[in-house]
Amino acid sequence: VIQSMLEQAVVTPTPDEADCRRHFDAHRDVYVQGQALHVRHILFAVTPEVNVHAVLVRAEQALLELSRPGVPPGRFAQLAAELSNCATGPAGGDLGWIGPDNCDPDLASELFHHKHSRWGMGVHPRLIHTRQGFHILEVLGRRKGKPLPYEEVRERIAAELALHLRADALKQYMARLVHDATIEGLDLDDRALQGAALPGFE
């Protein structure tokens, strides 16, 4: 019943061809087939019982060490074995070849979908924060992949935009409901407020 009421009350605009084309032009780097990176990492896990500040400081220290010129070739693998909270630690933190569709969404966003994602090979210049914790990443290899034509991704883009538009429309509707809501059982007119004495201030 509630869902039916929402369907009637919330009008969601439908993305048109211009919306889809504009989104595609602004996010061409997302619509690529076959792109992949050979990556290794050091994970500093964040769990409810750890001191996040201490973990972050240790991760920053390790990143600083690995970013300095002249770091010995085996140092990354050594630190991964010593510090990483990932099962890949003993293997030097090697994640193998990963693409945007088969890794953590936060990693995918950082590695594939940001403008600075193409910084090149080597250690990523900053820590990457995901739901697991903080990562130091090193790119060992890169496959560029093939850009997909608009016609192949048009339906996917339309579906993604429709989901975003629906979420925005629902948020606006709920905000309007909250704004217009009245709470029964409370008399909060001016006279009641003026006559009310706060404890300790009679």
pLDDT of residue 104: 84
Separation between Cα atoms, residue 57 and residue 188, nearest integer Å:
50
- Per-residue DSSP letters for 96-139? EEE-TTSS-HHHHIIIIISGGGG--SEE-SS-EE-SSEEEEEEE
Token pair 């009008």 is at which residue?
A: 11
pLDDT of residue 89: 95
Q: Which helix (H) or strand (E) holds 80?
A: helix 75-83
Separation between Cα atoms, residue 137 and residue 130, nearest integer Å:
12
3-class DSSP state for residue 161? helix
Alpha carbon 6 to its chain centroid, in Å, reads: 28
Instruction: Look up residue 151 and give its two tokens.
Output: 């016609």
Let me know if 12 is exposed, middle or buried by CB neighbors in 10 A (0-12, 13-18, 19+).
middle
Cα separation of the two ends of the chain: 49
pLDDT of residue 74: 93
Would the pTM count as exceeding 0.85?
Answer: no
Instruction: Look up residue 189 and give its two tokens.
Output: 């007119």
pLDDT of residue 78: 96
pLDDT of residue 32: 72
Instruction: Look up residue 44 and give its two tokens.
Output: 């500093």
Cβ contacts of residue 181 below 8 Å, gap of 6+? none
Per-residue pLDDT for the chain (202 aa), expressed as one digit of tens each? 445 555 566 666 788 888 888 888 887 767 777 778 899 999 999 998 889 999 999 999 999 999 999 999 899 999 999 999 999 999 999 999 988 888 888 888 888 776 555 557 889 888 999 999 999 999 999 887 777 788 887 888 888 888 887 787 778 777 877 777 665 555 545 444 444 444 444 4
